[in-house]
């Protein structure tokens, strides 16, 4: 206890020192006569918590609250007493810690879930509450040996599930690593003892090796005129244990038991040293990580590389600046530890952003257990770790599939993927992977590439980009045809001919926006969905309107009776139009319906709406097509169903192109069985065209079903 007083005098001055001495003596008096499970004076505990926070460099208010964090719950002291003696800020911190442990629950599961819900609510109010709680948990774990075995296991598991990843997300590696080792000690005592004993036996040999590496790296710094520090740091037991389990290795197969750290002044020096180390020792492929360019969620930054000595022994090197090092060691606490040296800690706000995100959705969750599941996901950075059959760890986003895994290995593995085994069993490609799964991808050289459906399945942006890249590269001709047809159809629907509005000048305007090198690239981009039809068409039409007066364009299916190609028995001179519900085309059996004030509407004879109008006596009239009716342009709708969206689109565009028809619009979706459904409207001459189109598409064995719809456009 005298030690903590000495630390106060060594680290604080003036009113800060006076505050902490008062808090120390106030708590000492309040806990007088109380004992811990170990038989020691209870006051040892708040002193130990305060000492941990002083070592982390926390401000005086936080350390004072650490001295006082149990007085409201375990002594006669009230909140009013704390407010009167120490003020509102310290009361808020003490009350925040106290409330985390105060409520009574119906079940253990509910208790655990609600406890962690309250933790995050407290974090939103003042992050220092959680830092105190982490220090409190660390000291309790240090003295866990005085509790029953059942309570040891319960507390250790709770700590491993929540408190260690929480410390990690806050970047406080000192607390995280010690907590993990203590958890291992109580949850896997045999493994812990094995590691302690065997690592200690090789300690002298390992220290000699590390010393030689440190010496050589210092020589590199000296030769480069770079000032810095180089030292070895043993990896903590839990990280070694986890590597042995996840990679299925023995301790003898784990070579990098000690990481060598290189601390230099600037980011440029980090990369300079990084390059020179790789010149001296050969790096292991796949073991190089640049957390400087892409920091971790807790703002950790460093260059990591594993290299092999000339004697074949691998070891890990971490290179960072002094600023990065203090953040790596102290995490969020570095905001207070060094705040007098900086006017603003730019990482502080970024560190807290994920906590605010948690609280944004916290209020909308219906119960604590639902919050708990979401919280665990958030704590682990929405990442899952899966393994190749050889033990390589692959990091993927939450809910990732075997397809995501395949593309994470290599683009070609993804493109040739035909199936997957997870933990030795064949699974569908849309299966959701879990952390710890061992995934093997089945490939085939005969594979024609990915399916369009995969874009709806994958979760990683990397996989999605690689799939789109494949379609852009491998299906260029099909995409050009499809994109051009879609633009022609939509232009026609709006009363324009694409050949009129697409000129060198108008294309140049579109290229200014989308950087197309030629018209085929524009058509292909529309075809595979990089840009929409309307994004391109609006630019073309806008330019056309400004440069050329709009001329009236005939729209198929609209016009007076004498130009519609339809003869209605007993009627002449009336306006006729085609029904949008069934879109008849020449060759269909048709009837006319006399509408009130809108002339005669022409329906297909088998149109369901005609059946409903049969009771309207005298208003349904026989109708037929006149000679030459097929010289107009009509629209019919079709539906194509297939397992593969890409195949369906490819077959459609190929047949339409061969028949010299035009796609006016196309829409794709997936049904409840996740089969592809393509709905397309085709401009054609008549029933002969639509029948032949359906026949040609249906002839492809990859198509499950194709039929004409009742509607078109």
Question: 3: which DSSP letter?
Answer: H
* pLDDT at residue 271, as a whole number: 94
Point out the catalytic residue in the list 73, 193, 222, 412.
Answer: 73
Q: Where are the alpha helices (DSSP H) in 363-430?
A: 368-379, 402-409, 411-415
Same domain, 272 and 322: yes
Q: Is pLDDT above 80 for 557?
A: no
* 258-264 vs 228-234, strand pairing mode: antiparallel
CA pair distance 440, 578, nearest whole angstrom: 57
In a domain, 372, yes or no: no
In a domain, 541, yes or no: yes
Structurally, the chain folds into a number of domains equal to 6
Taken as a whole, the chain contains a residue count of 713
CA pair distance 476, 455, nearest whole angstrom: 18
Confidence of residue 555 (pLDDT cuts 50, 70, 90): very low
Confidence of residue 374 (pLDDT cuts 50, 70, 90): very low
Mean pLDDT of 547-575: 52
* pLDDT at residue 334, as a whole number: 62
| Per-residue buried b or exposed e for 403-435, using 16+ beta carbons within 10 Å of the residue's own CB | bbbbbbeebeebbbbeebebeeeebebebebee
Mean pLDDT of 420-440: 89
Mean pLDDT of 422-451: 87
* pLDDT at residue 223, as a whole number: 93
Same domain, 611 and 645: no
Tell me the three state secondary structure of residue 517: coil
Q: Which two tokens stand for residue 175?
A: 């607390």
- pLDDT tens digits, one per residue of 652-672: 888 888 888 888 777 778 887
In a domain, 533, yes or no: yes
Domain finish residue from 484, 513, 547: 547
Same domain, 605 and 692: no
* pLDDT at residue 87, as a whole number: 93
Same domain, 286 and 312: yes
Tell me the three state secondary structure of residue 508: helix
Same domain, 249 and 161: no
Domain finish residue from 596, 631, 666: 631
Report the candidate in 533, 539, 412 with the shortest Cα–Cα distance to residue 466.
Answer: 412
In a domain, 376, yes or no: no
CATH number of the CATH domain containing 673: 3.30.70.260
Q: Is pLDDT above 80 for 571?
A: no
* 634-642 vs 600-604, strand pairing mode: unpaired
Q: What is the mean pLDDT of the chain?
A: 80
> In this structure, are residues 305 and 278 in contact, taking their beta carbons and an 8 Å threshold?
yes
> In this structure, are residues 680 and 638 in contact, taking their beta carbons and an 8 Å threshold?
yes
Same domain, 229 and 323: yes
User: pLDDT: is 359 or 564 the higher one?
Assistant: 564
Question: 571: which DSSP letter?
Answer: -
Specify whether 73 is catalytic.
yes
Specify whether 290 is catalytic.
no
Same domain, 33 and 161: yes
* pLDDT at residue 377, as a whole number: 42
Share of the chain above pLDDT 90, in %: 27
Same domain, 462 and 390: yes
Same domain, 170 and 42: yes
Report the candidate in 129, 48, 29 with the shortest Cα–Cα distance to residue 89.
Answer: 129
* pLDDT at residue 596, as a whole number: 62
- pLDDT tens digits, one per residue of 50-88: 999 999 888 899 999 999 999 988 889 999 999 999 999
Same domain, 420 and 450: yes
Same domain, 575 and 646: no
* pLDDT at residue 125, as a whole number: 64
Mean pLDDT of 462-468: 80
| Per-residue buried b or exposed e for 104-122, using 16+ beta carbons within 10 Å of the residue's own CB | eeeeeeeebbbbbbbbbbb
Domain finish residue from 610, 631, 652: 631
Point out the catalytic residue in the list 16, 74, 158, 500.
Answer: 74
Same domain, 10 and 81: yes
In a domain, 10, yes or no: yes
Query: Which domain range does residue 417 map to?
Result: 383-470
Tell me the three state secondary structure of residue 247: coil
């Amino acid at each position: 206890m005298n030690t903590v007083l000495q630390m106060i005098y060594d680290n604080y001055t003036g009113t800060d020192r006076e505050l902490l001495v008062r808090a120390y003596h106030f708590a000492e008096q309040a806990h007088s006569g109380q004992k811990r499970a170990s038989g020691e004076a209870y006051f040892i505990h708040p002193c130990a918590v305060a000492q941990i926070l002083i070592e982390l460099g926390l401000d005086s208010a936080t350390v004072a609250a650490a001295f006082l964090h149990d007085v409201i719950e375990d002594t006669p002291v009230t909140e009013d007493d704390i407010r009167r003696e120490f003020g509102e800020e310290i009361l808020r911190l003490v009350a925040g810690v106290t409330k985390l442990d105060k409520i009574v629950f119906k079940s253990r599961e509910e208790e655990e879930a609600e406890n962690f819900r309250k933790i995050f609510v407290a974090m939103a109010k003042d992050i220092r509450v959680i830092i105190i709680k982490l220090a409190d948990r660390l000291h309790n774990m240090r003295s866990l040996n005085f509790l029953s075995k059942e309570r040891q296991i319960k507390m250790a598991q709770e700590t491993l599930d929540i408190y260690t990843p929480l410390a990690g997300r806050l970047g406080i590696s000192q607390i995280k690593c010690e907590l993990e080792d203590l958890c291992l000690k109580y949850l896997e005592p045999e493994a812990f003892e094995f590691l302690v004993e065997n690592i200690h036996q090789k300690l002298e040999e390992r220290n000699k090796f590390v010393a030689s590496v440190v010496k050589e790296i210092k020589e590199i710094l000296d030769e480069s005129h770079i000032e810095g520090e180089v030292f070895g740091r043993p990896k903590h037991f839990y990280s070694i244990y986890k590597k042995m389990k996840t990679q299925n290795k023995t301790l003898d197969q784990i070579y990098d038991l000690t990481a060598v750290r290189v601390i230099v002044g600037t980011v440029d020096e980090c990369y300079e040293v990084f390059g020179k180390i790789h010149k001296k020792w050969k790096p292991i492929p796949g073991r190089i990580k640049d957390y400087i360019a892409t920091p971790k969620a807790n703002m950790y930054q460093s260059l990591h590389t594993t290299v092999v000595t000339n004697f074949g022994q691998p070891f890990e090197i971490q290179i960072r600046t002094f600023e990065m090092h203090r953040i790596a060691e102290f995490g969020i606490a570095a905001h207070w530890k060094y705040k007098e040296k900086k006017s603003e800690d730019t990482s502080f706000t970024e560190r807290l952003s994920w906590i605010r995100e948690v609280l944004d959705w916290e209020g909308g969750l219906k119960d604590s257990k639902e919050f708990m599941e979401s919280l665990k996901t958030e704590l682990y950075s929405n990442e899952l770790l899966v393994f190749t059959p050889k033990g390589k760890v692959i990091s993927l986003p939450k809910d990732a599939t075997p397809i995501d895994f395949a593309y994470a290995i290599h683009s070609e593995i993804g493109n040739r993927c035909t199936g997957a085994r997870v933990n030795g069993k064949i699974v569908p490609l849309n299966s959701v992977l879990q952390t710890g799964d061992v995934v093997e991808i089945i490939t085939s050289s005969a594979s024609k590439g990915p399916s369009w459906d995969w874009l709806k399945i994958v979760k990683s942006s990397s996989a999605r980009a690689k799939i789109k890249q494949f379609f852009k590269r491998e299906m260029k001709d099909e995409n050009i045809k499809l994109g051009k047809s879609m633009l022609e159809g939509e232009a026609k629907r709006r009363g324009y001919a694409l050949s009129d509005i697409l000129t060198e000048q108008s294309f140049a305007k579109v290229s200014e926006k989308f950087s197309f090198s030629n018209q085929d690239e524009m058509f292909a981009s529309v075809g595979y969905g990089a840009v929409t039809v309307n994004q391109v068409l609006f630019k073309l039409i806008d330019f056309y309107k400004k440069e050329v007066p709009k001329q009236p364009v005939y729209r198929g299916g609209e016009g007076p009776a004498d130009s519609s190609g339809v003869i209605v028995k007993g009627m002449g001179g009336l306006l006729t139009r085609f029904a949008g519900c069934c879109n008849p085309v020449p060759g269909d059996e048709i009837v006319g319906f006399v509408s009130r004030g809108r002339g005669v509407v022409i329906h297909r004879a088998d149109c369901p709406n005609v059946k409903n109008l049969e009771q309207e006596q005298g208003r349904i009239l026989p109708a037929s097509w006149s000679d030459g009716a097929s010289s107009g342009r009509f629209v019919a709708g079709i539906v194509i169903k297939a397992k593969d969206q890409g195949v369906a689109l490819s077959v459609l565009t190929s047949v339409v192109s061969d028949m010299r028809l035009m796609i006016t619009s196309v829409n794709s979706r997936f049904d409840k069985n996740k089969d592809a459904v393509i709905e397309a409207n085709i401009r054609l001459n008549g029933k002969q065209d639509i029948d032949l189109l359906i026949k040609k598409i249906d002839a492809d064995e990859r198509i499950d079903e194709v039929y004409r719809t009742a509607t078109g456009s």
